[in-house]
Structure 1
Amino acid sequence: MPPSHRITLKDLSRELGVSTATVSNAFNRPDQLSPALRERILGEAKRIGYRGPDAKARSLRTGRSRIIAVILAESLTYSINDAVASELLSGVAEVLDAHGHTLLLLSGRQHASQAPGSASMADGFIAYGLMPPSLMASADLPAHRPLVAIDFSPEGYPTVHIDNEPSSYAIARHALRKPTRRPAIVSLRLTESPCNGRIGEAHTLLPPEHSITRSRLAGFHQALEEQGFTASDVPIWNIEENTFEVCSPVIAEILDLPDSERPDLLMCMSDRIALTALTQAEQRGLRVPEDLRLIGFDGIAEGQYRAPRLTTVRQGSTEKGRIAARMILGLTKLQDTLLPTELLIGDTCP
């Protein structure tokens, strides 16, 4: 073909002796073709220089972009590096890849004026974590496009959750089977105003519907109360971001307390918090679990591969992503979904 000729879908279909619909499916709906046929079409497309259907033309023609946006509560850098968020995004991408859709990542921390313009490209939205009110109020989101929420409960939208409160209760109940004198809670973001340290009376907690941490806190408190502890008996330290760097100074504050005040059980709301505490305890010569017992939450691989192995709750982060993606593509019904969890008994709190 002459170099000046722009190769089209019709050119490729004529070259292969297949219909234009078959060629289109190879690029946009791979699940409709056998792997061998799709590989043949894509190989020939590459050979003759056909780059695929014009996305802009298709969008104008169909009114759909085949783009699904995931709106993240945290920054993109944090979310990609965080083990739990990364697993969730992997589950979303797996489903989108299989059905010829593109994943668009948006950070809820970007300026409100930037978000609607980017978001308007998408056919649907998956919101992970607490989504900013500015995005919830955007006409593009509630009025014209489907949305599925993960790990928070905006009114009027289907949600994908795990059973946070019973799961936290189950692991706390396990931890409290052995006598403890000074339990303490180390929480993921729990306060309305920034607080990277111990929560005091002046702090206001986030509403229960805005944060899974309130559900996890309720589960911990239920187990503690059954063992005779009141909420005021058990100190809570708040972590602003679930990273080693942000956790470290808070954990140091806890572990450097005098022996008579230092907790002998840390009930951590994430594996990252618990692993930070484990590392710092070892650096100080504290024995785990003899001097300090630790529980986490999430079930990330790192906590199960190192010694001592972390006692934690495993949640299906990848499966949460898959379920939300199937919903947003219309492959399954838009409905509230609650996933089970698994208690993993490790060495940090046998």
Structure 2
Amino acid sequence: MSPPRRITLKDLARELGVSTATVSNAFNRPDQLSPALRERILGEAKRLGYRGPDAKARSLRTGRSRIIAVMLAESLTYSLNDPVASEFLSGVAEVLDARGHTLLLLSSRQSPAQMPGSASMADGFIVYGLMPSLAALESLPPQAPLVTVDFDIEGRPSVHVADESASYAIARHALQARPQRPAIITLRLTAEPCNGRVTESHTLLPVEHTISRARLAGFHRALDEWGFTPGDVPVWNIEENTHEVCMPVLEAILDLPDDERPDLLLCAADRIALTAVTLAEQRGLRVPEDLRLTGFDGIAEGQYRSPRLTTVRQDSVEKGRLAARMILGLTPAADSRLATELIIGESCP
């Protein structure tokens, strides 16, 4: 006995009395249909056992897979747990969902051999984060559309927030309290691994490879205006924005003698600042009386705990939406800078 014939898109369209294009839109472009019509089509498809257009056949026919890959600087586990990265991915997914595209997540920490085969089929790539190395990008199809986020590749459109001006604004606010010993804590600033004090022996990454250079430039501009020699203000670098990696660097700073310990920490990320607050409180240091701190990102945790963090809020969801709209051709693919918001909290009033 021969197996039952698989129902096709044409069969379903005939059964519903609609065009094949309408059925296709229900699966691939839901924004083109009313919710009621799409639910009717999907319900009948389920009843008849139709699972949707064959992605492989469609890819061969149209030359498009409707897959958009996002390559992340960090591991997938870290990125999904990190509030900034997860908000960015939410923005990307929102646009892709509305246009019937599939999101494929990749990590630059994977070797080319570990990349899923579907990555080669992707219609475009969004590359996000502070890349530890650009080597992973060599595995991507060179002809594929590509948008970078938080770093730059010559000839490719990029999405950033106004990092330098935002850092300048928050440092300028913090310096109004006239600290005696300001210090800066950055994230992935140096070409060599450095989880500690940055010295003259270290090589700073190029401006186009890390937003930390732009944030450092903003801090330095404000320090210079307030009479500090930027080169005399100590800079510590953190290799990974996690509590475990931040903690030893911050402990070394906070355990300095009273006359050497900074009384203002300009932090390049909220997670760094929040770790510093926790460790300061464990040592009996009062925030902001003994130590003022600022962050960058505007994550929810920094605004819910006490003392509430003084920070810069960036709209990571909109950053994801914009990158997705660019890669789909819904927005011109051009370098973009999103505005930020200065939030004055209790950690540096």
TM-score by length of structure 1 reads: 0.95
Structure 2 residue aligned with 1:301: 300
Structure 1 residue aligned with 2:151: 152
Give 2:226's aligned amino acid.
Answer: Q
**1:211 & 1:130 partners in 2: Cα distance?**
6
**CA contact 1:116–1:140 (8 Å) conserved in 2:** no
Aligned residue-pair number: 347
**2:113 & 2:198 partners in 1: Cα distance?**
33
Q: Where does the alignment leave 5 or more consecutive residues of structure 1 unmatched?
A: none
**CA contact 1:73–1:128 (8 Å) conserved in 2:** yes
**CA contact 2:130–2:188 (8 Å) conserved in 1:** no
Structure 2 residue aligned with 1:251: 250
Q: Deviations over 1:11-31 (max 9, x none)?
A: 221221111111111000111
Give the drift of 1:280: 1.0
Give the drift of 1:290: 0.4
Q: Deviations over 1:115-134 (max 9, x none)?
A: 49553110001111255443
**2:137 & 2:237 partners in 1: Cα distance?**
27
Give the drift of 1:138: 4.7
**Structure 1 range deviating more: 125-134 or 168-177:** 125-134
The correspondence of residues 46-65 of structure 1 with structure 2, limited to 5 A, is 46-65=46-65
Give the drift of 1:137: 3.8
TM-score by length of structure 2 reads: 0.96
Give 2:128's aligned amino acid.
Answer: Y
Structure 2 residue aligned with 1:198: 197
**2:177 & 2:210 partners in 1: Cα distance?**
30
SS at match of 2:160: strand
Structure 2 residue aligned with 1:43: 43
Give 2:81's aligned amino acid.
Answer: N
The correspondence of residues 1-350 of structure 1 with structure 2, limited to 5 A, is 4-115=4-115, 117-130=117-130, 132-138=133-139, 140-141=141-142, 143=143, 145-350=144-349
**2:194 & 2:346 partners in 1: Cα distance?**
31
From the superposition, tell whether residues 139 and 183 of structure 1 become closer, same or farther in structure 2 (CA, over 3 Å). Answer: closer
SS at match of 1:120: helix
Q: CA RMSD in A?
A: 1.6
**1:302 & 1:139 partners in 2: Cα distance?**
35
Give the drift of 1:253: 1.0
From the superposition, tell whether residues 246 and 232 of structure 1 become closer, same or farther in structure 2 (CA, over 3 Å). Answer: same
Give 1:272's aligned amino acid.
Answer: R
**2:286 & 2:99 partners in 1: Cα distance?**
50
**1:118 & 1:221 partners in 2: Cα distance?**
44
**CA contact 2:130–2:211 (8 Å) conserved in 1:** no
**CA contact 2:111–2:136 (8 Å) conserved in 1:** no
Q: Deviations over 1:35-84 (max 9, x none)?
A: 11001111111122211111111111111000000111111111111111
Give the drift of 1:231: 2.3
**1:277 & 1:322 partners in 2: Cα distance?**
32
**CA contact 1:112–1:134 (8 Å) conserved in 2:** no
List 4+ stretches of structure 1 deviating above 2 A. Answer: 2-5, 112-119, 129-139
SS at match of 1:39: helix
SS at match of 2:148: strand
**1:165 & 1:229 partners in 2: Cα distance?**
18
**2:123 & 2:84 partners in 1: Cα distance?**
25
**1:297 & 1:318 partners in 2: Cα distance?**
15
